[in-house]
Amino acid sequence: MGSLVGCRLGHPGGHGDQRGRRGLLRASRVRGHRRPRPAPPPRGERPHGARHEPRPLTSAASHAPNRRTVRPPGRPCYGCSMPAARAPRIRPAVAVQTLFILFGVVIAAYFPFLSMFLDSKGLTAGQIGGVIAGMAVARVILSPMWGHLADTTIGRRRALQIGAVGGAAAALALFAAESDPAIWATAIALAGVSATIAPNVDAIALGFLGDRMGDYGRMRGWESLSYATACLLFGIVLQQVGVRWDMPILAGAALVVFFWTIVAIEPDRPLHRIRHGRLGAVGAVFRAAPRFWIFLVALLLVWTGFNAAWNFIGLRIERAGGGPFLLGAGAALGGLVEVPVMRLSSRLSNRLGLRPVFVTGCLVYAFGFLLWGLVEDPTLLSVLTVFEGAGFALLFTTMVVVIGRMLPSTLYSTGQSLAATMGFGIAPIIGAGIGGLVFDRYGPATLYVGASLLTLCGAAVAWLALSTPALSRPAHDAEPVL
C-alpha cells in the first residue's frame, strides 16, 4: 500500500459522492491548483474508519519492498538481513527435503562409479588410489576455507551454489580429459570445488530443524532413497552406454541442485562479518567444543577404513566377474537399506543416546568390510553392500547431529566442513592411497581385514570422545518434522 497516493476514508455520501469529489479534484488540478489534503489528526489519534497507510513516496523507491531483519519461518537467522516483503514461494520443509533428494542423485552419479570411471581412462589400481588421494588433499585444503566463508561471509546458500556450478564444470572437464596430467588436474579441481556442497546441505538442514535436530535422520533418509533409485538407474544406463558417461550425468545432477537453491532456498548471507579471533571460525570450533578434536580422530580412523574398503569394491566386483550393473545394483540395495535405518536412527538416538548408536554403526562397518574380503562371488559381493548402507546410515546421521549438539548454530558449516575434511579429505589420502598399493601387492583379503581393524579402533576412540552426558544419555522424544 506504500505506492498509493492517499488514504481512503469513509464518507456518508456513498460511492456517487466519492466519484463527484474525484471529478472536482481532477478539474482543480487542470486549472493549476493543488489537490487539497485533509488536516492531519493530532498525534496519537486516527480518524474513525480510516486505515493507516505509510506516507507516499514520490520516487521509484515507493515500489521497493520494505526490509527489516526477521527470522524466516523454520530457519534461525544467524546475523543475517532478510527481505520481509513477501512470503517464501516454497515452504521451508519442502525446500530442504527436496534439496536432500536432489543431492542424493549427485552422490549416486559420483560415489559408486568413480573408480570404474578412472579405470575406463586406463589407470591402474595404484594410480586410481593416487588420484583419489589427490582429490582428498584438495578437500583437506579447501573444506575448512569453504566452511569459514559460509559461516562468516558469503552464506551457506551461496557456498553451496559455487560448489554445484564449479563441480558441474569440473566434471565435464574430467570427461574430456585424455592425458594423465589432465585427469589428475580435473579430478582434483572437481574434489576441491565440490567440497562445499555436502557440509552446507547439512548446515542448512540443521538450521531449519533447530531444537529438533534429532529428526535429521528422518529427513536424510529421503536422500538415501533417491541415491538408491539413481544408483540402480545409472548402473543400467552405464552398463549400456559405457561408464565414461558418468561425468556428464554428474554435471547435469549438480546443475539441477544449483537451480533448486535459486528458487527454493532463502538467502542467508550474514549482515555483518563475524569475527572469531585467531584461526577464524576454525579456531572458534575448538574453543566451543574442547572434545571435538578427539571426535575428529575417531572419524579419521573410521573413514580411513571405509575409504580403503569402498573405493576398491568396484574393482573387487569387476575382477570377480561383475560389471557396472552389479555395482549399481549393490549400491542401490545399500541405499534402500539406508532409508529405514536412518529413520530408525533418530528414534534410537532419542532412546539410547548418540554414543551407542555411533559405535554400533562402526561395528556394522567392520563386519561388512571383513565379509567383502572373504567372499569371492560377484553377486554375493553386490548383495553384501547392505552392510555399507546400514553402517553409513547409523554413522552419518549421528555424526551430523553430534556436531550440531557440540557447536552453536553460527559454526554449523565450519564444524561440518572439518568433519568432511577429516572423513572425506585426510581419510581418503590414507585409505585410498595406501589401499590401492595393498590391493595390488597383497590382494583384497589383506586390504579388507585391515579396513575392518581400523574401523574397530575408531569405535573405541568414539566411545571415549562422546562420553559426555549430553551425548551418552537418551534425548527427549520429539515429533518428526515430516
Domain that holds residue 408: 92-472
Residue 44 lies in a domain: no
- pLDDT band, very low/low/confident/very high, at 361 (cuts 50, 70, 90): very high
- Whole-model pTM? 0.64
Residue 45 lies in a domain: no
Residue 270's pLDDT is 64
- pLDDT band, very low/low/confident/very high, at 9 (cuts 50, 70, 90): very low
Residue 60 lies in a domain: no
Burial of 183 (0-12, 13-18, 19+ CB in 10 A): buried
The per-residue pLDDT for range 10-55, each reduced to its tens digit, is 343 444 444 444 443 444 444 444 555 555 555 444 444 444 444 4
State the average pLDDT over residues 120-125. Answer: 84
Q: How far is CA 332 from CA 222, 228, 234, in A?
A: 13, 4, 10
Other beta carbons less than 10 A from residue 293's beta carbon: 13
Q: What CATH number does the domain containing 266 carry?
A: 1.20.1250.20
Residue 48 lies in a domain: no
- Which range is least confidently modeled, 279-293, 417-431, 460-474? 279-293
Beta carbons of 36 and 25 less than 8 angstroms apart:
yes
- Which range is least confidently modeled, 89-93, 231-235, 263-267? 89-93
HSE toward the beta carbon, residue 233, CA cutoff 13 A: 12
Q: Can you read off the three cell numbers belonging to residue 459?
A: 569405535
State the average pLDDT over residues 406-429. Answer: 81
DSSP 80: B
Q: Can you read off the three cell numbers belonging to residue 161?
A: 551454489
What type of residue is 413? Answer: S
Residue 366's pLDDT is 95
- pLDDT band, very low/low/confident/very high, at 279 (cuts 50, 70, 90): low
- pLDDT band, very low/low/confident/very high, at 148 (cuts 50, 70, 90): confident
Residue 276's pLDDT is 52
Burial of 160 (0-12, 13-18, 19+ CB in 10 A): buried
* pLDDT greater than 50 at residue 465: yes
% of the chain residues with pLDDT over 90: 24
Question: What is the C-alpha separation between 407 and 295, in angstroms, rounded?
Answer: 13
Residue 450's pLDDT is 93
* pLDDT greater than 90 at residue 304: yes
Residue 367 lies in a domain: yes
Question: What is the C-alpha separation between 405 and 140, in angstroms, rounded?
Answer: 24
Residue 42's pLDDT is 52
Beta carbons of 322 and 382 less than 8 angstroms apart:
yes
Question: What is the C-alpha separation between 225 and 237, in angstroms, rounded?
Answer: 19
Residue 28 lies in a domain: no
3-state helix, strand, coil in the chain (%, to 5): 75, 0, 25
Residue 85's pLDDT is 41
CA angle 193, 96, 264 (to 5 degrees): 80
- pLDDT band, very low/low/confident/very high, at 275 (cuts 50, 70, 90): low
Residue 246 lies in a domain: yes
- Which range is least confidently modeled, 5-14, 27-36, 77-86, 322-331? 5-14
* pLDDT greater than 80 at residue 192: yes
More confident residue, 409 or 106: 106
Residue 6 lies in a domain: no
State the average pLDDT over residues 297-302. Answer: 94
Residue 337's pLDDT is 87
* pLDDT greater than 80 at residue 409: no
- Please count the structural domains in the chain: 1
Residue 56's pLDDT is 39
Beta carbons of 277 and 152 less than 8 angstroms apart:
no
- pLDDT band, very low/low/confident/very high, at 300 (cuts 50, 70, 90): very high
Question: What is the C-alpha separation between 204 and 96, in angstroms, rounded?
Answer: 8
